[in-house]
Structure 1
Amino acid sequence: MKNAVVVSALRTPIGRVPGSFSSFSEAGLMSHCMKAVVTSSDIESRLIDCVYVGCSYPPNSYNVARKSLLDAGLPQTIPGVTINCHCNASSEALVQGANAIATGDHEIVLVGGVDCMSKSSNSIGILKRNIKAMLRNQLPSFDSIDENYDETQVNIVSEVLARKYGISRREQDEFACRSHQKAAHAYDKGYFNKEILPIDVEFEGVIKSVRRDENILENIDIEAVMNEGSICLKDGTVTQFNSSHVGDGAAAMIIMSEDRARKEGIKPIAKIISSSIVGVDRENIGMGASAAAGKLLKKLKMEIKDIQFVELNEPFAGIAIANQYIMNIADDRLNIQGGSIGLGYPGGCTGMRMCVTLLHSMQRLQSEFGLVALNSTGGMGQSILFGLS
């Protein structure tokens, strides 16, 4: 089996919904990222064996991976495969690409993730259902948790976990504040400079270069956000503030066999050590991230204390805190540049975005190991371990 390594990793800023990227198609945003990641890798595009792209809400009219690579001007001989398993779509794209390298099927692979939630049927459907309530500034609210709630109702899952693990409303709001504060601090220090690909967008005839995630809130006042009402239960703890906001974004990597990188004279960013993917039963919905991480660490005979930094997805603060508790991760090792609540949640791109951010953090801080762990809608979880090359 061959080792797979990452040689280039970039992402776009994450646009709000609606925001700077609202006019982009999935292929349009993904192709920008593809061109940049190929250029930064010093790999000739003709050498790429395959492209894997994760997308939670791919348009029915085309294969996002294939159309994106053609729009990016990559050779028409390169096949493209689109993967859809919701939140972990792009992390699964990375895993499938790495596995193809490990078995010798491919030597050089472009992997990516994209979602334009401004145009997705999911976002538009939610908007249509709630437009009247949103105009009244009063979202739907229920008296209690229905035992037959659907596992895709992630806001209800967060309420269930908050009760199960005794997570207070204030804990969730404080977690959300830290996500925004970490992200703002990272921007102030220039920590995102090497990972973010600026995108030029035209507004009323004027070209604007978008370089910053649009969801980050400055000067957070914890007391002010504590006054926000629950978005699903009358006595609930989940609010618009301690939930992530969907967004528009893309991320990509060039990965290749370690032997081929050595042959090409390319110094890798990191090695992809191993991964795991799990499904969880109904009693543990929302705990897929910690389950996948536990399975991976057990397989590798490692403990969480061996990992310097962890990227954990933050669909809702309650879900993130519950998984953080089970994984026993200190705040100063978790999402050190902010997580999805602060940065935004571009659907199936999120897993790849987390990997890109983690790898640049590992390089900057010269960390030996970094772990990505995320939940996925429907009761799943995935985890990937990287080692600095």
Structure 2
Amino acid sequence: MQDVYVLDVLRTPIVGKNGKFKAIRPEVLGAEVVKSLVQRCGLTAVDGILGGNAVGTGGNITRLMALLAGLPEAVPACTVDMQCASAAAAMAMAYANVASGQGDVWIAGGMESSSLQPLRTYAPADERYKLVPDGNGEYYTAQFAPGDMAPDTMLRGAERVAAEEGVTRAELEAWALRSHARAAAAVKAGVLKDRIVPVQGWSKDDGIRPRMSQRLLSRLPLLLGEGTTLTAGTACCINDGAAFAVLASGDYVRRQGRRPLARIVGTAAVGGNPAQSPRGAMRTADVLLARLGWRYEDLQAIEFNEAFAVIDVLFKRAHPDCVVNYNRFGGALAYGHPYGASGAILLAHLVESLRAAGGGCGILSIAGAGGMGEAIALELVE
């Protein structure tokens, strides 16, 4: 088995739905990142490319992206759909390909345009045609579990977990405040600027609110009505963006004299109750750490995708002494969540978080619709 290294990882700015990127197709966003990676890494050959996407037009849009980026026609491309965990799954697959000797250099990550999410229609013969809310076969949100056709199933899953665990609105809002404050501090310090590829002259993440306050959060209405806890402040925004990484074998790194960013130590994919998808982040990280013989206390950086603040609350309750290394620069509550790209965004942030910590090991983990989860463990090389 080959060692697998991250040569580089880049992302676009993360932009809100119907914002600056509202007319830019996801494959175009991804191509901007891939072109920059090829140039920065001086790549003369790529063995393959894997791209995550959750709500695009379907088909193999990673192939479209690769061609738009100017990669040779001979480079194979495949699109991965694990919903929110798509980019992380794509990177895990690329890791497996490199580790098993199926090429020296793979590009992997994901892309998303929530702004251009198409309205789809079930075939009239499909029993779900009449089961969608309007009974006309049309839907935006795919089905994630048998018997569940709700378009807001992810939100309801997060509320369900919060209720089962007795999580309070105050606990959730404390994490929203932390996320925005840390993200704003990261922007001010410029710690992520070298990971961001401008698109059409735009280089700013537009979801971060430096002046987010408890007063503002307290005024937000409950998303699911009286007796619930989640608001727009404690659930992530919907976004557009792309992020990709170059993964290379140890042989390639040595032959080319490259200095990689990090070594991938392992990956894990885990399934669970689809009605409680937020549990997937910590559950998957737990499995990977156990497999590696590591503890959270051994890590210098931890990045979970905070699609909902309940994910953060569960982590703090389980590992209070590790919160200092958790989402060091804030998370998706501030930046946003371009579904198919978020796993690779976490990788970019994890690398910089390890740098800020002075090196060591870290983990990223992301929950996905249907009760899925994907995690990746790193060791910083630089």
TM-score (norm 1): 0.87
Match of 1:105 among 82, 99, 102: 102
Aligned to 2:60: 63
Match of 1:352 among 344, 349, 355: 344
Are 1:10 and 1:252, in contact at CA under 8 Å, matched by a contact in 2?
A: yes
Are 1:229 and 1:239, in contact at CA under 8 Å, matched by a contact in 2?
A: yes
Aligned to 1:218: 210
Find out whether 1:278 has 2:270 as its counterpart. Answer: yes
Cα gap change, 1:122/1:341 in structure 2, threshold over 3 Å: closer, same or farther? farther
Aligned to 1:92: 89
Aligned to 2:4: 4
Are 2:33 and 2:243, in contact at CA under 8 Å, matched by a contact in 1?
A: yes
Cα gap change, 1:343/1:157 in structure 2, threshold over 3 Å: closer, same or farther? same
User: How far off its partner does 1:282 sit?
Assistant: 5.5
Find out whether 1:252 has 2:244 as its counterpart. Answer: yes
- Show CA shifts across 1:317-340 (max 9, x none): 123322443355633211111100
The DSSP-based 3-state class of the residue aligned with 1:199 is coil
Aligned to 1:339: 331
Question: Which one-letter code corresponds to 1:171 in the other structure?
Answer: E
Cα gap change, 1:241/1:319 in structure 2, threshold over 3 Å: closer, same or farther? same
The DSSP-based 3-state class of the residue aligned with 2:210 is coil
Aligned to 2:164: 164
Are 1:311 and 1:335, in contact at CA under 8 Å, matched by a contact in 2?
A: yes
| Distance in structure 1 (CA, Å) of the matches to 2:174 and 2:154 | 20
Cα gap change, 1:39/1:307 in structure 2, threshold over 3 Å: closer, same or farther? same
Aligned to 1:81: 78
Match of 2:259 among 234, 242, 267: 267
User: How far off its partner does 1:361 sit?
Assistant: 2.3
Aligned positions of 1:134-149 closer than 5 A: none
User: How far off its partner does 1:242 sit?
Assistant: 1.1
The DSSP-based 3-state class of the residue aligned with 1:322 is helix
Cα gap change, 1:148/1:6 in structure 2, threshold over 3 Å: closer, same or farther? closer
Are 1:151 and 1:378, in contact at CA under 8 Å, matched by a contact in 2?
A: no
Aligned-CA RMSD value: 2.2
Aligned to 2:140: none
Aligned to 2:48: 50
Find out whether 1:235 has 2:227 as its counterpart. Answer: yes
Aligned positions of 1:311-330 closer than 5 A: 311-328=303-320, 330=322
| Distance in structure 1 (CA, Å) of the matches to 2:249 and 2:294 | 24
Cα gap change, 1:322/1:365 in structure 2, threshold over 3 Å: closer, same or farther? closer
The DSSP-based 3-state class of the residue aligned with 2:244 is strand
Are 1:307 and 1:371, in contact at CA under 8 Å, matched by a contact in 2?
A: yes
Cα gap change, 1:256/1:42 in structure 2, threshold over 3 Å: closer, same or farther? same
Structure 2, unaligned stretches of length 5 or more? 121-132, 135-146
Are 1:270 and 1:359, in contact at CA under 8 Å, matched by a contact in 2?
A: yes
Question: Which one-letter code corresponds to 2:353 in the other structure?
Answer: S
- Show CA shifts across 1:166-220 (max 9, x none): 21101111111111111111000111111111122xxxxxxxx211111111211
Question: Which one-letter code corresponds to 2:57 in the other structure?
Answer: P
User: How far off its partner does 1:113 sit?
Assistant: 0.6
Question: Which one-letter code corresponds to 2:269 in the other structure?
Answer: I
Question: Which one-letter code corresponds to 1:97 in the other structure?
Answer: A
Q: Which moved more, 1:317-326 or 1:7-16?
A: 317-326
User: How far off its partner does 1:152 sit?
Assistant: 6.5
| Distance in structure 1 (CA, Å) of the matches to 2:218 and 2:193 | 33
Identity %: 26
| Number of aligned residue pairs | 358
Find out whether 1:372 has 2:371 as its counterpart. Answer: no
| Distance in structure 2 (CA, Å) of the matches to 1:58 and 1:103 | 30
User: How far off its partner does 1:314 sit?
Assistant: 1.0
- Show CA shifts across 1:1-54 (max 9, x none): 11110001110001111111111001111110100011111222xx10001001
TM-score (norm 2): 0.89
Structure 1, unaligned stretches of length 5 or more? 124-128, 131-146, 201-208
| Distance in structure 1 (CA, Å) of the matches to 2:298 and 2:151 | 33
| Distance in structure 1 (CA, Å) of the matches to 2:286 and 2:210 | 35
User: How far off its partner does 1:122 sit?
Assistant: 6.8
Are 2:267 and 2:376, in contact at CA under 8 Å, matched by a contact in 1?
A: yes
| Distance in structure 2 (CA, Å) of the matches to 1:58 and 1:215 | 22
Cα gap change, 1:271/1:16 in structure 2, threshold over 3 Å: closer, same or farther? same
Cα gap change, 1:5/1:151 in structure 2, threshold over 3 Å: closer, same or farther? farther
The DSSP-based 3-state class of the residue aligned with 2:194 is coil
The DSSP-based 3-state class of the residue aligned with 1:372 is strand
